[in-house]
Amino acid sequence: MKKFVRYTLYTLGGIAVVVGGMAAYVRTALPNVGAAPEITVEITPERVERGHYLAWHVMMCMDCHSERDWSLFSGPPTPGTEGVGGDVFDERIGFPGVFLSRNLTPASLKDWSDGEIYRAITMGVKKDGEPIFPVMPWMNYGRMDDEDIHAVIAYLRTLDPVPADHPTGRADFPMSLIMRTLPVRNTPGKRPDPITQPVAYGEYILNAAACGDCHTRFEKGEFTGPFLAGGREFVLPGGILRTPNLTPHETGIGAWTRESFIARFKQYEEGHYVPHQVDPGDFQTIMPWMMYAGMTEQDLGAIHDYLRTVPPVENSVVRFEAAQ
């Protein structure tokens, strides 16, 4: 009996050493995507214009890296906070910890090289080597054309420097270890031609906009539903929001024409719509309609063209349930 107990203790001790060693390795050696590339992004008017378009209307950099006003429909950025960061993603909305978006203005990024910004956007690793929680869809951005990423970097360099002192976020265990294993080297692609390759171009824009992140069911830290079939839940102060089905099934966008799809976005375009007040219990959404409304009709139409090609999935979604 004593021998058995001693053997058990030795075994448990060995396991503890192995687990401890693995945890130490993850904490100290990961993430490991290599040094930031040595690049210098030339700031040209064309790049800045393209970067502004992507940051505001496709990649939604200015959506997450601002403080959103949830008293208004769709939570538009609070004027004066655009790009300054401070948006909070925490346990109240299902995240494993507390994560805050950082300041993207030169007040914060002036000491970052273009390569360090590039690595953060496309590989999920900060200047100090720490990982970025994938609420920022750097995995999507890592598949984009380098020229588009360079355009965003050029645009960020032109922002007014606005100092901001945000609290430090934290990841709960075991996510604090798991997120260190996630960053990988990016695999940039080429932006397809929107005229000759409209479906491939639509897929490219949809990836850049990270539509699949919200419109795919997500539970307990992983995607569990069919891609783009909707059903992901977000707990909002006034109730539970569920994202709609974007597949070409009749429970999704099967009946939507290209024109009606574009019009759905354009109804929120600046000059046509003023955000209305949302009272407790009223329908609210995290979808940044006013920002996506600035996307070109060509890009919106291409997204629709691509969505028509994905497998149709039956999934009727109850969009919103008011808090009791």
DSSP string, 276-321: PB--TTS------HHHHTTS-HHHHHHHHHHHTTSPP-------EE
Q: What is the dihedral of CA 301, 297, 212, 241, to 10 degrees?
A: -110
- pLDDT given at position 11: 52
Order across the sheet with 97-100: list the strands: 88-89, 97-100, 170-171
Q: Is 110 helix (H, G, I), strand (E, B) or coil?
A: coil
Measured CA angle at 60 (ends 59, 63), to 5 deg: 170
User: Taken in order 224, 228, 234, 239, is the CA torsion positive or negative?
Assistant: negative
Q: Which residues contact 269 (CB under 8 A, 6 or more apart)?
A: 290, 293, 294
pLDDT (tens digit per residue) in 214-258: 999 988 777 899 999 999 998 888 889 999 999 999 999 999 999
What is the Cα gyration radius of the chain? Answer: 22
Provide the 8-state DSSP code for 77: B
pLDDT (tens digit per residue) in 188-212: 999 999 999 999 999 999 999 999 9
Tally Cβ neighbours within 10 Å of residue 55: 23
* Of residues 209, 230, 199, 176, the one with CA closest to residue 63: 209
Q: Is 72 helix (H, G, I), strand (E, B) or coil?
A: strand
> What are the start-end ranges of the E strands in 220-277?
222-223, 233-236, 239-242
Lowest mean pLDDT, pick from 13-27, 132-146, 275-289: 13-27
Whole-model pTM: value is: 0.90
- How much of the chain, in percent, has pLDDT values that exceed 70? 90
